[in-house]
Structure 1
Amino acid sequence: MQRREILRLALALTGSSMLSRSRFGLAEAALGNAATAAATNLVSDAFPKDFLWGSATAAYQVEGAWNTDGRGESIWDRFAHTPGKIKDKSNGDVACDSYHRYQEDIDLMRQLGMKTYRFSISWSRVQPDGRGAINSKGLDYYKRVTDALLEAGIRPFPTLYHWDLPQALEDAGGWPNRDTAERLADYAKIMADSLGDRIGQWSIFNEPKTFTHVGYWQGTHAPGRKDPLALLRATHTVNLAQGMAFRALKAASAKPQVGGVIDVAPMNPATNSAADKAAAQRWYKFLNLWFLDPALKGSYPEGVLPPAQQAQLLGLRDGDEKIMRAPLDFIGLNYYSPWIVRDAPQGNGVPGLNTKSDWAAGPDEKTDNGWDIYPKGFYDILKDIAAHTNNLPIEITENGAAYNSLPDSHGHVHDRKRIVWLQKHLRELARAIHDGVPVRAYHCWSLLDNFEWGEGYSQRFGLVYVDFKNRQQRTVKDSGEWFAKVIAANRVV
C-alpha cells in the first residue's frame, strides 16, 4: 500500500528496516468490580467541554474543477493524467466536485454537529504558476468557503500545502530546489493578506514526510521521481519553507496561530537486540521528529544521517538553522498505524548510507486497504510527542480507516467496522487527554469518500458515501450518524 511503501523505502535511509505494521492486542486494565469499571469508562470516554469535533479533506482529493476559473496545473494533475500511475486509472479532475458543491458539504457538517473543518488550499488555484500573478477567482472561492463555514458556526482550519505543488515549480526543480521555499512564503503572505481577517489557525504543511519520500524517492506519488539525493534536499527545503511561511503568516495584520501537520507512529523493535532497538530509535526520529525539531530547535535529530555528511546531503548553508526555526503555536498529528523495525545494514544506494529495508508477513487484522489496527499506539505516540514538545497544544488533524462498504438495497451504508475502529481509537485519545496530553480538537479522516491519491477511488475513508458514478451523490453512512452522536454527547458512545 502507499503509506507502507513510503515508510519501507524511507526507513532504508535511516539504516533500519521495517516489518509490516504489526497487530497488537489491547491490554485492558483489570478492574476490581463492575461499578469501578463503569466509572472508569465514563471518565476515560469523556472529552473536555470545549473540545472541537470535525473532519478533514484535501483540495485535490475533493474539489475537482481541475482547470476551471483560471486554476493552473499541479503535479497531481500531471501525475494522475499519466497512464499507469493511478491504481484504477482515475484522476482528480472531478473528484467529489466540492468546488461546486461546497455548500452541500458544509450543510452535511452542520447536520452532523461538527464545529471545525480542516481543508486545504490549492496553491495552483491561487497562483497558477506558483509565482507571480494571483488568480482572483481562486481566492474568491476560498473566501466563499470560509464565509460559509463561519456562517454555519464551523471553524475554518486551512492547510496551505497538501501535496499539490504547481507544476511550473516542479519544472523549475520542485522541492529539492531551495527557491521553492521562497515561493511558498510568498504564497503564505497572499493567503494571510486575503483571509487573515477570518482565519484564526493555519497549518503550513500536511505530512511533509509523505510527499517528499514518495514523490522524490519512491516515485509512486507526484511528481514521480526516484532520486535519493533529491529526497534529502527536498526535506531540507520543506523545513526552510516551514520557517519562512510561519513568519509570513505571523506578519499579517491579524496574528493567527500557526502550526504544522505530521504523521506519527510508535516504532517498536522487532527483537530485543541492541541493533533493532537502535534502528527503531533512528526511524522514530526520521518519521516523527524530522520536520518538528528543525522548527522547534533549529536543528535535525542526531543519529539519523552520518554527521560528517549531513550538511552536504541536505544542502545545509550557514544560517539555515535560523531560517528553519519557527516556534509553532500547535502541532497537528495524523495517526493510522504503528510499525515494527529491525536493523538491516545492507546498502540501498542513498549517498553516505549503507542500509537496506526488508519486510515480513503482517497480521490478519487489517483495514480494507491493508493497514494494521493498533489503537493503543495512538495513546503511546500522543504521550511521546507531548513530552518531546513540552506540551504544545495538539490537534488531531487526521485519524480514520478505509472500509469499502457499499449501499444496501435501501441505499444505506452499514459500515460497522469503521465505527468499531473509531470507538477504539477515540477511547485511547480520551485516555491520553485524561492523562494530561493537551489535545484540543479531533478531525476524522475523512468527511467524504474521495480520490485517495495512488489508490484512486478504490479506497473509502469517508463518513459520507460518495457515488462517483451518479453525479457525486452524498449519503451519510452509519459511521457518520454514529459520529454525530459522539459529538452531541462529547464522549465515545
Structure 2
Amino acid sequence: MSFQKDFLWGAAAASYQVEGAYQEDGKGLNIWDVYTREPGHVAFNENGDVACDHYHRFKEDVALMKQIGLKAYRLSISWTRVIPNGTGEVNPAGIAFYNALIDELLAAGIEPLVTIFHWDYPYALHCRGGWLNPASSDWFEAYTRVLVDSFSDRVRYWMTINEPQVFITDGYKNGNFAPFMKHPDGDLIRMTHNVLLAHGKAVRTIRAHAKRTPIVGFAPTGPCVVPASNAPEDIERARAASFDFNRNNYTSSNAWWGDPIVLGHYSPRAYELFGDLMPKENPEEMALISQKLDFYGANIYWSMQGGELGTTLTGCPKSNLAWPLTPDVMYWSIRFLHERYQLPLMITENGMAGHDWVALDGKVHDPDRIDYLTRYLRSCKRAVEEGLPLIGYMHWSIMDNFEWARGYDQRFGLIHVDYGTQKRTLKDSAYWYASVIAENGENL
C-alpha cells in the first residue's frame, strides 16, 4: 500500500506571516500588528507590516505553487481583514481579496484548505478580554459564519484553529508571543474552555451553512513520543507519555485539547491536577465542543519528550531553530493519534528552518532540507504502508516568511523571498518536492 491517488500534497502559510498590507483596504489591527511595535518582543524589532507582500503578489505566488505541482494550499484568513473590529461590519475588500485568491488557486488546480484562525486575534476584541470573555466563542462563531457564507461554494476543506497549544502557551502563559502576557492557571483554563467552545461552534456553523459538503478538522501541534525501541513495553510507555501532562506543560499537550474535541470530555488528568479550577462538566457544552470531525490535523516537527523516553537528543542534528531531527516522530504520531482518536490524519505542518540564500549561480541550494523531508516523508510512508489513514501532507511553508517572535531570520520556505526586493526564487527543495508530488511519493 502506498499513498492514495487523491493524496493531498501541499504546502501552508499563515495570513500574518505572508500577506503584509497591514492597514490597507480597510483591514483592522490584530494583536501582532499592535504588539510587534513594543520594543523587545520580536528579533530586531521586526514585524509583518509588509512580510512577503502576498496581498499584492498572490497571483505570482499561486503561479509558483502550480509550477511546483501542489495539489493543495493551506491558507489562513486574517480575521481583521474580513471584520476589522472582530465583530460587526464586514469589510468587502477583505472578502474580495480572499475570493480572488481562492479563485486563482482553483484555476491553477490547487485545492484551498482554509484555516479560520492562525493566531492574529483582533486587537479590538483583545481589549474586551479576548479569550477570557465568555462571549469570545460567539464572536468566533459569527466570524466563521461570514467565511462560510462567502467562500463555501468553492472551499471544501476547513480547519477551525491552528495550534491552540502554542498561542495559549506562548501568548498567555509564557509571554513569548503576542499579546506577550503571563496569566495564572485559572485564566488559562477559562481560555481553554472558550477556545474549545469556539471550535465547536465553528464546526456546527460550517456543517449547518456550507454550500458544499464540508471536510472539517482542526490543526493542533501533534508530536508524540518516539519509543526507545520496538519492545511492547517501550511502545506502551511512549503512547502513555504522548498524552500525559503536568502542571508545567498541560496547555501544550495533545490530550488537553484533543480529548475534549474528539472524545467529548476533558482528560481525567486535568481534574487530578486542577480540581475546582476546571469547568464543571456540562453535557451540552461538551457535546458542542466535540462536534464530528472528518480528520485530525497534526503539525509535527520533532519528538515530544524524546530525550526522556525515546530517541536521545544528545548530539542530535538540529535545524537553524535548534529543533531536533527526529523523523520517526511522523510514524509514531500518526499511529498514536489515530489509535486514540480514530480519525484520518493530515500532516498540516512539517518543515525545517535553514540558512538559505541565493548562490552565485542564481539558485538556492538547500540539500539539508531535501534530506530532512526525505526522512520525514519516508516515516509518513511507513504509516501509510501499515494501513494508517493519512490523507495529506502540508509542507511548512510555501515561502520564507515572518517567523513570529524570531522575525525574518528563520527560513522555512520552498520558495526563497528576498525581503528587500520581494523577488521569489524556487529552492532546490521546491524542484525536489515537485518530483515527489509527480510520483505520488513512490520513490521516497
Same fold (TM over 0.5): yes
Indicate whether 1:282 and 2:244 are aligned: yes
Q: Indicate the residue corresponding to 1:40 in structure 2.
A: none
Native 8 Å contact 1:202 1:257 kept in 2: yes
What CA distance in whole angstroms lies between the structure 2 residues aligned with 1:292 and 1:110? Answer: 34
Q: Which residue among 373, 386, 404 is the counterpart of 2:338? A: 386
Q: Indicate the residue corresponding to 2:26 in structure 1.
A: 70
What CA distance in whole angstroms lies between the structure 1 residues aligned with 2:109 and 2:415? Answer: 20
Q: Indicate the residue corresponding to 1:295 in structure 2.
A: 261
Q: Which residue among 335, 343, 362 is the counterpart of 2:300? A: 335
Q: Which residue among 196, 200, 205 is the counterpart of 2:152? A: 196
What CA distance in whole angstroms lies between the structure 2 residues aligned with 1:276 and 1:464? Answer: 36
Q: How does 1:92-491 map to 2 (within 5 A)?
A: 92-229=48-185, 230-254=187-211, 255-267=213-225, 281-283=243-245, 287-306=253-272, 309-314=274-279, 319-340=284-305, 362-390=314-342, 392-470=343-421, 472-491=422-441
Deviations 1:103-133 (A, max 9, x none): 1110001011111000000001011111111
Superposition deviation, residue 305 in structure 1: 4.2
Secondary structure (helix, strand or coil) at the match of 1:303 reads helix
**TM-score, normalising length: structure 2:** 0.91
Q: How does 1:56-67 map to 2 (within 5 A)?
A: 56-67=12-23
**TM-score, normalising length: structure 1:** 0.82
Superposition deviation, residue 277 in structure 1: 9.9
Q: Indicate the residue corresponding to 1:34 in structure 2.
A: none
What CA distance in whole angstroms lies between the structure 2 residues aligned with 1:438 and 1:477? Answer: 30
Structure 2 CA distance for partners of 1:362 and 1:166, relative to 1, 3 Å: farther
Deviations 1:82-111 (A, max 9, x none): 111101221000000000001111000101
Secondary structure (helix, strand or coil) at the match of 2:209 reads coil
Superposition deviation, residue 239 in structure 1: 0.6
Superposition deviation, residue 483 in structure 1: 0.5
What CA distance in whole angstroms lies between the structure 1 residues aligned with 2:11 and 2:306? Answer: 31
Secondary structure (helix, strand or coil) at the match of 1:191 reads helix
Instruction: Could you tell me which runs of 5 or more consecutive residues in structure 2 were left unpaired when the two chains were aligned.
Output: none
Deviates further, 425-434 or 331-340: 331-340
Instruction: Could you tell me which runs of 5 or more consecutive residues in structure 1 were left unpaired when the two chains were aligned.
Output: 1-42, 344-359
Structure 2 CA distance for partners of 1:316 and 1:221, relative to 1, 3 Å: farther
Secondary structure (helix, strand or coil) at the match of 1:454 reads helix
Structure 2 CA distance for partners of 1:304 and 1:154, relative to 1, 3 Å: same
Q: CA RMSD in A?
A: 2.5
Native 8 Å contact 1:214 1:220 kept in 2: yes
Percent identical: 40
Secondary structure (helix, strand or coil) at the match of 1:251 reads helix
Secondary structure (helix, strand or coil) at the match of 1:442 reads strand
Superposition deviation, residue 50 in structure 1: 1.9
Q: Which amino acid aligns with 2:258?
A: L
Native 8 Å contact 1:276 1:341 kept in 2: no
Secondary structure (helix, strand or coil) at the match of 1:231 reads helix
Superposition deviation, residue 341 in structure 1: 7.2
Structure 2 CA distance for partners of 1:236 and 1:200, relative to 1, 3 Å: same
What CA distance in whole angstroms lies between the structure 2 residues aligned with 1:399 and 1:277? Answer: 21
Q: Which amino acid aligns with 1:365?
A: P
Secondary structure (helix, strand or coil) at the match of 2:221 reads strand
Q: Which amino acid aligns with 1:169?
A: L
Native 8 Å contact 2:131 2:195 kept in 1: yes
What CA distance in whole angstroms lies between the structure 1 residues aligned with 2:358 and 2:385? Answer: 37
Q: Which amino acid aligns with 2:260?
A: P
What CA distance in whole angstroms lies between the structure 1 residues aligned with 2:293 and 2:372? Answer: 31
What CA distance in whole angstroms lies between the structure 2 residues aligned with 1:153 and 1:116? Answer: 8
Superposition deviation, residue 473 in structure 1: 0.7
What CA distance in whole angstroms lies between the structure 2 residues aligned with 1:194 and 1:63? Answer: 20
Deviations 1:51-101 (A, max 9, x none): 121110000000000000000000111121111110122100000000000
What CA distance in whole angstroms lies between the structure 2 residues aligned with 1:53 and 1:277? Answer: 28
Superposition deviation, residue 403 in structure 1: 0.9
Q: Indicate the residue corresponding to 1:39 in structure 2.
A: none
Secondary structure (helix, strand or coil) at the match of 1:465 reads strand
Structure 2 CA distance for partners of 1:196 and 1:365, relative to 1, 3 Å: same
Deviates further, 82-91 or 251-260: 251-260
What CA distance in whole angstroms lies between the structure 1 residues aligned with 2:305 and 2:6? Answer: 36
Deviates further, 67-76 or 332-341: 332-341
Q: Which amino acid aligns with 1:181?
A: S
What CA distance in whole angstroms lies between the structure 1 residues aligned with 2:237 and 2:365? Answer: 46
Q: Which amino acid aligns with 1:464?
A: I
Superposition deviation, residue 411 in structure 1: 1.8
Native 8 Å contact 2:242 2:304 kept in 1: no
Aligned residues: 430
Native 8 Å contact 1:74 1:124 kept in 2: yes
Q: Which amino acid aligns with 1:282?
A: D
Superposition deviation, residue 311 in structure 1: 4.8
What CA distance in whole angstroms lies between the structure 1 residues aligned with 2:360 and 2:189? Answer: 51
Superposition deviation, residue 319 in structure 1: 3.6
